[in-house]
Amino acid sequence: MSTNRCEAGIDTFRHHLPLQMRFNDIDLLGHLNNSVYLTFMDLAKARYFEEVNGGPVDIRTMGVVIVNINANFCIPTFFHEQIEAETAVVAIGEKSITLEQRIYSVPDRQVKCSCRTVMAGFDIRTNTSIPISEEWVKKFEAYEGRKLQKTK
């Protein structure tokens, strides 16, 4: 794993999503507001799940919720910059998946923000944790083209 907190633990991401900044995404210092990075990460997660699934995903039936997010704000992003988010599932447990994401400048691949998110299996009808379905495990591994690291 990389020791630079602004780099992800993996080198290659299959999923990339171009991002469009809006005028109100910029703060008084002239750069992308920290809260907007997490909004962009959420959008990238949603598009990643659709890509993995091969079509639209009803998050209520997918059965996952975010339980932990760790973000590293590396260098500022300015309004004129072309940025993208990249997303990958990097580990899977019985009841959780771990994603790594980065937002980076397209021309020079400078990482602007890196993020590690843990999502837990969750049944909204019973308000209880549930295992990640074997169907989704197979989809993630097929999409990523590798076996996922197992976590406890």
Which two three-digit tokens encode residue 38? 């997490």
**What pTM, to 2 d.p., does this model score?**
0.91
Total domain count for the chain?
Answer: 1
Domain-embedded: residue 59: yes
Domain-embedded: residue 5: no
Which single residue is written with the structure tokens 């210092």? 29
- pLDDT by 10s per residue, the chain, length 152: 444 567 656 778 999 999 999 999 999 999 999 999 999 999 999 999 999 999 999 877 788 999 999 999 999 999 999 999 999 999 999 999 999 999 999 999 999 999 999 999 999 889 999 999 999 999 999 999 999 888 87
Residue 80 pLDDT: 94
Domain-embedded: residue 6: no
Strand duo 83-92 + 149-150: pairing: parallel
Domain-embedded: residue 7: no
Residue 2 pLDDT: 44
Domain-embedded: residue 112: yes
Domain-embedded: residue 2: no
Residue 61 pLDDT: 78
User: 88 lies in which domain range?
Assistant: 15-150
Domain with 53 in it: what CATH number? 3.10.129.10
Concatenating the DSSP letter of every residue in 15-61 gives EEEEE---GGGB-TTSBB-HHHHHHHHHHHHHHHHHHHHTS---HHH
Domain-embedded: residue 10: no
Residue 106 pLDDT: 95
Domain-embedded: residue 8: no
